[in-house]
Structure 1
Amino acid sequence: MKNLFIVILSLLTFWGCSSSSSKETPEPDITTLPQFDTTTPANQSYVRAVTNPGSSGSGSTGSAQVASTLTGKSGVCADQHGHAWSVSNPDPTLQSSDNKSQLGKYCGDSLKIYVSTVPNLERGKTYYIRPYATYGTNTVYGKTIQVRIDVALPSFPQPPYETAFPAIPEVTANQIKVGALIDNNGGADILQHGFVYLEGTSKDLLSEDGKFIAAGPSADYKSLRLGPYTGALPGPYNGTITGLKSNTNYKVWAFIANSGGIRFWSKPMIFRTL
């Protein structure tokens, strides 16, 4: 009788453990999770702005704003997202990085453009910065970019206007095709280039010293990002801004960005759609 009781107790224990295990939610296959797009030009990470040591009260070190784009997926939430960075590891992970930003949870089925501020950057050092997002125990990573605070910015040709924008714009009711000319890359690869634009003529995107007023993406402006520039320099580029309203004024700024920051053509092009 005693042996029968032990057998029954063992079976109940086994059944309870099996039942509990069967109810556990398995970790998703990492390949099914939202990823960082490493091929589409518009979605590549780039340096939005750099603050050099000694400027704007930054003290003996500088900082950089790095923008990245995470794809979304309906019903799937990232527990955390941001950037990891290192001065010694060309492909930093959360475990091997010197530091990281933590921008919180993200749920959505659309592209998420986000910006991290990377502080305490020293002159003469190269920083490897990599976007990440965590889903439970899984982490997905994007492509690493390099940042140096002592790299010269890329540049457009000096005025006149026709030198920097040699192409004749093509304007229709809902789109504008426009081009620009890059003079040099400042000594570092161009990570992103394109145009930012704003509806109307009363607002500006640049302050008097040529810096971007908007620190991050907002509903006030949109951008056409064309990705890294790999052509010979000096060299032209062009793009078509779509989805515009008819019979409406638009301001358009050309921009180029390398590991030292972002450069805008100081004066906007102004167009009116048909």
Structure 2
Amino acid sequence: MKLVRYGARGAEKPGLVDAEGQVRDLSAHVGDISGATLGDAELARLAAIDPATLPVVQVDRYGPCVGAIGKFLCIGLNYSDHAAETGATVPTEPVIFTKATSAITGPNDHVEIPKGSTKTDWEVELGIVIGKEARYVEEADALDHIAGYCVINDVSERAFQLERQGTWDKGKGCDTFGPIGPWLVTRDEVADPTALAMWLEVNGHRYQDGSTATMVYKPAFLVSYVSQFMSLQPGDVISTGTPPGVGMGQKPPVFLKAGDVMELGIEGLGQQRQTVTAYRA
């Protein structure tokens, strides 16, 4: 299934995308697409519904494809070719950092350059959505804890991230820096999450044109690894890293400015489009 949340910010309704690409309203069957919805039994119940029996809706806005996210975790330097472009080496263990949940926004909402920013950047990433609690999970069992996958733009302010004497979180959690969606694609529809084409363009120029095939630490390993340090709860999201082509890797570097338009997508998981705006008090 392709599950969506649509409607005004803070009042999103649940839906699914049918075989013809139409959004169907799920409100009569579930309150939201969130942690309580994402277990195997509940997903099987929704999958058994005939989409033709659901009302077709016209979508003016997609919200984040998961509601009430408890933890928004990210993996740094997880693509060998991206690590090389930044001059870094692939870490011997995954780098974990967080994005504030206040950064979460819809896939086509504006991205705001934060106050004082000089180096706002882009990163197309594969998102993992947790469907079942994971605590000290073995890698062989980890995929059973994944509800599905989605597109994430891990927007980053590089000066805040790397030059402000602190953890990466400073440059990762700014408001609007976490567009998620448009779809949560359940794991049964993603045959191999490590073989998906992914891309990102700014103003029509393709900067990122990669594949999850160059991901160093794969989804099953990441879920297992993170679960050794904290329990993962249904509805938690892990953003798994980016391929090469980010702005700071260009020669000379290129950073976002007001009026720029980012378009990005991952094979089978949908596309996003964000207009960049200036900070407004």
TM-score normalized by the length of structure 2: 0.28
Higher helix share: 2
Q: Which has the larger radius of gyration?
A: 1
Normalized per residue, the structure richer in strand is: 1
Normalised to the residue count of structure 1, the TM-score between the two structures is 0.29
